[in-house]
Amino acid sequence: MSEAPMRQAAAPVYAQVHVMAQNAQPKAGKPSGNVQQLADALNNLGRYKQMGVLGQGTFGVVIRAVDPEANPPQEVAIKLLPRGDFVKNFKTYVQREILHQSSLKHPFIVCLKEVFLTPTHLAIAMEYAQGGDLFKYVLRHAPNCRLPETQARWIFQQLAIGLDYCHRRGVANRDLKLENLLLDRDGSDGTRPLLKICDFGYSQGKHELNSSAKTGVGTPIYMAPEIIYGGNRYDAKKADIWSCGIILYAMLYGRYPFNAKERDYARKIVTAAYVLPQDVEVSDLCKDLMTRVLVADPDKRLSMEEIRAHPWFLHQLPEGALEMNSWYMQKPPYLEQYMARIDAIIEQAQVKGNPDDEVISVCL
Ligand SMILES: Nc1ncnc2c1ncn2[C@@H]1O[C@H](COP(=O)(O)OP(=O)(O)OP(=O)(O)O)[C@@H](O)[C@H]1O
């Protein structure tokens, strides 16, 4: 058996940033997660009211807060990155996260609301997804950590539609995984959660997509064969589609198709040597789609268009879902007008602030 049990995926690998992270973190100071320190940082803004800490990722602490000035008051999630060396060392990551994600306005993508600078932190306020991440959602389906096929299809449909929109906008995510897919509710009341793709820190933008990607990015067990194989020239959109196949597999079987603990797991990914467990009942149509997505050769892998035309994908797809991206594409990317101000904030975030500095902010 080569499949792996459901464990939190290892941190993403980003050939340059990852090495930098390892070298720079002690000096730059990883966010401590100290609640009082975070509260102080927010008090300087005097607008958001902190409600608790949601978690800490590789690049920052995320807190839950309320915007009391919104009508009605609105819950938000705020990612806090310490000002100074930290932002300086991870400037590319920070720029990608803010610039790419703020150009994406879609119901299946976490919406960035405001970027602001406190004396201590660069803060990114975004839509709060109260259902948590898909990894935990799948784990809650005890005892097997598997979603019923209809539920997995609903999530996959949203993922494909959200990702299709990103790709049409010229953005490839490059770190799609269960942990980076959030849900607007936990579904415990029987309603179907809406998916929210988040974390665009490793994404590739329009200007970069015209040429192929040059940096091997992603989380190992979700990484496409062409990245592992060569790593220096690949189509990031096709690599995203592979990751969707891994996500679908994990939702259905409650395990991953490849086991990063095995010595030859990289070879298995490169040759797409995975098995479909026989102990789980999955329809033939679903297996047909999954095995045509998890194809080692990116040229033979299903394209987004082909996925969207596949009968398993189309089954029980809500009316109008196929057309919704054309509608969202009509909305002009408003980003240009904010670009200079966002750049200025990121520039300023590379130096530490003073306690009496005025808070600078851009609403997106
Ligand atoms: N908009 C949001 N709504 C609700 N929870 C969120 C939101 N954004 C992030 N979180 C949660 O906050 C925690 C930290 O998120 P973050 O994106 O910084 O790191 P990560 O995805 O866990 O790690 P990494 O950046 O290393 O991949 C995670 O548990 C994540 O689910």
Give the model confidence (pLDDT) of 131-185 as tens digits.
Answer: 999 999 999 887 788 999 999 999 999 999 999 999 999 999 999 999 999 999 8
Q: In which element (H, E) is residue 148 found?
A: none
* Co-location of 170 and 66 in the same domain: no
126 lines ligand 1 (CB under 6 A): yes
Within a domain: residue 21? no
Owning domain of residue 262: 134-328
Domain with residue 62: its CATH number is: 3.30.200.20
**What separation in angstroms does the CA of 187 have from each of 133, 141, 181, 236?**
12, 11, 15, 32
Residue 1 pLDDT greater than 60, yes or no: no
* Co-location of 274 and 143 in the same domain: yes
234 confidence band (pLDDT: 50, 70, 90): confident
Question: pLDDT of 78-129, one tens digit each?
Answer: 999 999 999 999 888 888 889 888 889 999 999 999 999 988 899 999 999 9
* Co-location of 236 and 314 in the same domain: yes
* Co-location of 220 and 185 in the same domain: yes
Would you state the pLDDT for residue 362? 86
Within a domain: residue 236? yes
Would you state the pLDDT for residue 43? 67
* Co-location of 113 and 176 in the same domain: no
Residue 35 pLDDT greater than 90, yes or no: no
User: Would the ipTM clear 0.90, i.e. be above it?
Assistant: yes
Residue 30 pLDDT greater than 70, yes or no: no
Residue with the smallest CA separation from ligand 1 atom 30 is 55
Instruction: Compute the distance between CA of residue 217 and CA of residue 176 in angstroms, rounded to an integer.
Output: 11
Please give the model's pTM, rounded to 2 decimal places: 0.88
Within a domain: residue 14? no
Within a domain: residue 8? no
Within a domain: residue 65? yes
Of residues 21 and 176, more confidently modeled? 176
What's the first-to-final CA gap in the chain, in angstroms? Answer: 48
Q: Strand, coil or helix: what is 275?
A: coil
Atom number of ligand 1 nearest to Cα 12: 27
CA of residue 62 to ligand 1 center, whole Å = 6
* Co-location of 109 and 149 in the same domain: no
* Co-location of 103 and 143 in the same domain: no
Domain with residue 160: its CATH number is: 1.10.510.10
Would you state the pLDDT for residue 335? 66
* Co-location of 187 and 110 in the same domain: no
Question: pLDDT of 53-65, one tens digit each?
Answer: 898 887 788 999 9
Within a domain: residue 9? no
* Co-location of 167 and 264 in the same domain: yes
Picking from 154-168, 250-264, 293-307, which range would have the lowest pLDDT averaged per residue?
Answer: 250-264
363 confidence band (pLDDT: 50, 70, 90): confident
Give percent of the chain above pLDDT 70. Answer: 82
Active site residue 357: no
* Co-location of 259 and 150 in the same domain: yes
Q: At what angle do helices 284-293 and 149-168 cross, to 10 degrees?
A: 30
Would you state the pLDDT for residue 135? 94
Structure tokens given for 51: 């409600």
* Co-location of 279 and 339 in the same domain: no
Within a domain: residue 360? no
Mean pLDDT score, 328-335: 77
Mean pLDDT score, 259-279: 91
62 lines ligand 1 (CB under 6 A): yes
Distant-in-sequence contacts of 275-281, Cβ < 8 A, 24+ apart: 275/1, 275/2, 275/3, 277/3, 277/253, 280/144, 280/146, 280/252, 280/253, 280/254
Give the number of domains in the chain.
2
CA of residue 37 to ligand 1 center, whole Å = 19
211 confidence band (pLDDT: 50, 70, 90): very low
217 lines ligand 1 (CB under 6 A): no
* Co-location of 170 and 249 in the same domain: yes
For the ranges 24-33, 153-162, 220-229, the maximum mean pLDDT occurs at 153-162
Complete DSSP assignment for 48-67: -EEEEEEEE-SS-EEEEEEE
Query: Among 287, 313, 290, 314, which residue's Cα sits nearest to residue 302?
Result: 290
The C-alpha angle 125, 18, 11, rounded to 5 degrees, equals 70
Within a domain: residue 69? yes
Burial 285-310 (b: 16+ CB within 10 A, else e): bbeebbeebbbbebeebbebeebbeb
Residue 12 pLDDT greater than 80, yes or no: no
Distance of CA 21 to the CA centre of its chain: 19
